[in-house]
Amino acid sequence: MLKTVYKFLGLMKTQYKRLYLSFLFNFLDGIFIMIPLVIAYYMVASIPELNKNATRQLDEKLLVLCIAAMAVTIICRIILRYATMRLRSGAGYEAICEKRISLGSHLKHASMGFFSKKNQGDLISTITSDAAFLEIEGIGVIEKAATGIPSLIIGLIFLFCVDYRIFIFTVLLLIPAWYAYRRLASTQDRLNINRQKFIGTVTEETVEFIHGIHILKSCQTEKQHKTKIMQMFEKLRDESIRNELSHLFPIALFQFWFRAITAGTVFLAGMFFLRNDIDYMRLFLLTLSSFGLFQGIEGMGIFSIFAKMTAQSLERMDIIDNIPVMSDISGEEEPDQFDISYENVSFAYDSTHVLKNLSFHIPEKKTTALVGLSGSGKTTIINLLGRFWDAQQGKIKIGGKEIQNLSYEHLLRNLSFVFQDVFLFQDSILNNIRIGKPSASLDEVVEAAKKAGCHDFIMELPDGYDTVPGEGGSTLSGGEKQRIAIARALIKDAPIVLLDEVTANIDIENEVKIQSALQELLKNKTVIMIAHKLSTIQNVDQILVIEDGSISQKGTHNELMKQIGLYKKLWDMQYQTEKWKI
């Protein structure tokens, strides 16, 4: 538990002052707990019938003073507990807020490869439920450790000062209590239960079920998949119950030994009094104090369950903190020209080689189209330029400067992406377009929307530019989303534009509008575009035919049509497809 406490304190490093001040108030609260005991002892000591050495007779005035002192003590404890909770909870929420932001900043610099491999449900669970648990319970683990250990030491010192025999008896009973504590702390390890990790898996499956519900309904298989989700929730329920039940016996055993200490203290004190080994005042003091002497350490033991869960949550956050980030993202160079060069670039997803010694050059303000069969590496070429991944071999340059030597901010500032699958955030259309330039005025957004051919349909929406589309833009058609994405790229006005099959799966009417919008976007830009519809790239400056991660052909449309190769084959196939009729 102490290791977990130390680790959690590292998380709270920016909140040390508030945290330590809360510990101070908590310590003072512990002192005030003892004051009523002292007052009660003083009252009994003022009764001559009970204390032959009484120096003052308990009367009405003294009784009122004692009651008033107890009342003041209670009020002080209320104030101290309020201050402690306010400082402690505030520090916890502040620290976890900072940690969430830190994790987000770290993930921003991770390669896309991490997100393709990582269970997204597990990632969401870590940043949400794990962080929420630490906000509420993690700080409690710190408090129990901060108060439990000192209370044990103070309690043992008190017993030694009052009667060494009861001190020895207590120490002997603390040995099996410590054994029960160790068993309690290791229960989850032995059972190999990690509920938070399983919650991540359930979250992933649930999100997938919701996103794919339309496919499942169309295939009439939603009941089978619903059954699978229900089984996972039932398994989560069973694991949670098993987790709780596994701690019942260790907790009961741990509490039993402290109850035994309390009962044994009262019993021994009574026996010693009957044998005249101690006076009535020590009997009263031992009896009164025995019921609350070790409450702090007892609470610490029970809280070891939360300490284990806290450790698991911290470990899962460490996994995110330790993911490799892209190297050399702090360069200060910025390109002043925007031609693009790939020099002997090779890349593989794990063991699957996608690009092999790829080399080509794209002149500034010229358009290059990438053509090839699915899986040939076209999209990977674009992704490497944006450093979604880093090439294992070779160099990629913009304006003669390696992209690894550019800061990531400078690199992305000069790139505009328009993907085939457009994602819109659940925010207003105005803000979705503004993503390209957050400081853009409303007039700039409207101008970009007009150039992209989406102003008219936006004005027909219920709230115009303030309309919030459904999740991912589900209330808009594919062509409408695509034009909003082009408006986003237009307003960014980056010198390099990367297009990934933007007219794929679009109807004729939208394709015409998108082509018109692209003419505005691509003016005086360096362009790399992936296209399956070869009719859309007849006038580009350069076409690269990609086969198995290498360039098999290079030239203009007319040049490639005179060659025997994949390009002419694809052109002929598309021509035959256009003539196909039912």
> At 35, which CATH number?
1.20.1560.10
Are the CB atoms for 273 and 280 separated by under 8 Å?
Answer: yes
The answer on 107 and 179 residing in a single domain is yes
Position 141 in a domain? yes
The answer on 407 and 272 residing in a single domain is no
The Cα-based distances of 214 to 156, 209, 230, 384, 517 in angstroms read: 66, 9, 19, 33, 31
Position 140 in a domain? yes
Position 508 in a domain? no
421 C-beta neighbours (distance < 10 Å), count: 13
pLDDT band, residue 79 (cuts 50/70/90): very high
Query: Which residue would you say has higher pLDDT here, 468 or 229?
Result: 468
The answer on 181 and 100 residing in a single domain is yes
Q: Which helix (H) or strand (E) holds 496?
A: strand 496-500
Q: Is the pLDDT of residue 147 over 70?
A: no
Position 403 in a domain? yes
Looking at residue 75, what is its pLDDT? 93
Query: Which residue would you say has higher pLDDT here, 558 or 473?
Result: 558
Looking at residue 186, what is its pLDDT? 65
Q: By residue range, what is the domain housing residue 123?
A: 2-193+246-321
The answer on 183 and 121 residing in a single domain is yes
Percent residues over pLDDT 70 in the chain: 83
Q: Is the pLDDT of residue 188 over 60?
A: no
Position 21 in a domain? yes
The answer on 292 and 253 residing in a single domain is yes
The answer on 340 and 283 residing in a single domain is no
The answer on 84 and 26 residing in a single domain is yes
User: Which of 296, 321, 346 is the C-terminal boundary of a domain?
Assistant: 321
CA distance 516 to 458: 17
Position 492 in a domain? no
Q: What is the rounded average pLDDT of the residues 373-380?
A: 85
The answer on 342 and 283 residing in a single domain is no
Position 81 in a domain? yes
Looking at residue 581, what is its pLDDT? 54
By 3-state DSSP, what share of the chain in percent is helix, strand and coil, each rounded to 5?
A: 65, 10, 25
The answer on 305 and 337 residing in a single domain is no
Position 505 in a domain? no
User: Which of 321, 353, 385 is the C-terminal boundary of a domain?
Assistant: 321
Q: Output the CA torsion 432→433→439→444 (10° steps).
A: -150
Q: What is the rounded average pLDDT of the residues 92-117?
A: 75
User: Which of 273, 289, 321 is the C-terminal boundary of a domain?
Assistant: 321
The answer on 344 and 313 residing in a single domain is no
The answer on 147 and 63 residing in a single domain is yes
Lowest mean pLDDT segment, chosen from 32-36, 164-168, 378-382:
32-36
Query: Which residue would you say has higher pLDDT here, 49 or 171?
Result: 171
CATH of the domain at 340: 3.40.50.300
Looking at the structure of the chain, the number of domains it has is 2
Looking at residue 341, what is its pLDDT? 92
Looking at residue 422, what is its pLDDT? 78
The answer on 107 and 126 residing in a single domain is yes
